[in-house]
Structure 1
Amino acid sequence: MTTTGRRALLRAGAAAGAAALVGCTSSEGGEAPRKPSAAELEAERAARAEAALRLRSVTAARSLLERYDTTLAAHPALAPRLTPLRRSVAAHAKALGEGGTAVKPVTTSPSPSVSASASASMAPAPVPAPADPRAALKELAAAERQAADRHTNALLTAPPEYARLLASVAAAGAAHAYLLTEGAPA
């Protein structure tokens, strides 16, 4: 992330903090509601963008976790090999979701917030695992690579701390893909 991007993020955060300290004015006596400042609107936009990014990242991780579960259900003999990787993916999904995926708007106009429950209802049905264990491992490795690529692509728009987390999760996904295909025999 460029210095200019960090400065803009810091300005937006400072403006949101200042707005929280000042508080809202009451609309007693027929006064019009206070219009949010440009800084407040920018802070809200940045928060919404980050919440959407977090939601996409968590959704990718949870989808991968479901792939592990379907593969383990279809091939219990692979449990010693897959269980540690599945545990790691579960930890990644939890870490990617920390910090929240919902945003409370500062504007006076109603707008829907991004929530994890909304995306869960739109999630596609789990993909069944292939009958052949080697094919199942190959498909799981492909799913790991795909999730790692999504996390890597998200780095471009992520705030610095979240970008570091995404980079770590993407690297772990690449390592998992290697372990599933090249690292050990089936």
Structure 2
Amino acid sequence: MISTIFDDARQTGRAGVTTTGRRALLVAGAAAGATALAACTSSSADGPRRPSAAELEAERVARAEAALRLRSVTAAHGLLERYDATLAAHPALAPRLTPLRRAVAAHAKALGEGGTAVRPTTAPATPSASASASRKPAASPTPVRVAAAPGAALEELAAAERTASDGHTAALLTAPPEYARLLASVAASGAVHAYLLTEGARA
């Protein structure tokens, strides 16, 4: 009889310990979950991940290339406006200028193709480089003045060709390889145009 009572007491004690242990585990698990949730909430509240140095450098290079492309396209369109103004002022020069003007238009289109797409790692304060590279340059605020004499107008056009060619040559130093080859080709073509517009006509 006494042994039976002791056995019941042992079983009751074990059951109590087991129940207490389970409750302790549940409480500990809940506390750990709350701690993890608080940590996640704190991390997300800190804002987006900061870009690495490599990401910032890649974005800087892409923006520089987009700016270079925009400058090159702007120069080509400025030259194209000079051709149009000269043709409007001196229609008799059309047979001579039209082939050169067509080549300049092709250069302007080629220089603007394949602009660098930039995905900013931070909120941009200015329009993205990709938008800048693809945007068509604004027209000149004032009309291009053309000399009244056809010979002088050709001299002006040749000077504009040389200026654009020099600009493309200078851009070779910072241009990526593929774009540098295009710039070199356009610059060489501009030098030939300048010769044809002046010395070539006298030969």
TM-score normalised by L of structure 2 = 0.71
Establish whether residue 173 from structure 1 lines up as the match of residue 181 from structure 2. Answer: no
Name 1:10's counterpart in structure 2.
none
* Equivalent of 1:140 in 157, 174, 178: 157
How many Å apart are 1:117 and its aligned residue? 4.4
Higher relative contact order (CA 8 A, sep 6+): 1
2-structure distance, mates of 1:109, 1:57: 23
Name 1:183's counterpart in structure 2.
200
> Does the 8 Å CA contact 1:67/1:126 hold for their aligned counterparts?
no
1-structure distance, mates of 2:136, 2:43: 36
Q: Judging by fraction of residues, say which structure has more helix.
A: 2
Structure 1 residues 145, 109: CA separation in 2 closer, same or farther (over 3 Å shift)?
closer
How many Å apart are 1:74 and its aligned residue? 0.4
How many Å apart are 1:64 and its aligned residue? 0.1
Q: Percent identity?
A: 76
> Does the 8 Å CA contact 2:69/2:111 hold for their aligned counterparts?
yes
Coordinate RMSD, CA, aligned: 2.2
- Aligned AA for 2:90? H
Name 2:181's counterpart in structure 1.
164
Establish whether residue 95 from structure 1 lines up as the match of residue 110 from structure 2. Answer: yes
1-structure distance, mates of 2:91, 2:174: 39
TM-score normalised by L of structure 1 = 0.77
Structure 2: gaps (5+ residues): 1-41
Structure 1: gaps (5+ residues): 1-26
Name 2:73's counterpart in structure 1.
58
Name 2:47's counterpart in structure 1.
32
2-structure distance, mates of 1:69, 1:175: 19
How many Å apart are 1:112 and its aligned residue? 2.9
Name 2:58's counterpart in structure 1.
43
Name 2:138's counterpart in structure 1.
120
Question: Alignment length, in residue pairs?
Answer: 158
1-structure distance, mates of 2:158, 2:198: 7
1-structure distance, mates of 2:166, 2:119: 30
How many Å apart are 1:35 and its aligned residue? 1.0
> Does the 8 Å CA contact 2:73/2:137 hold for their aligned counterparts?
no
How many Å apart are 1:30 and its aligned residue? 3.2
- Aligned AA for 1:120? A
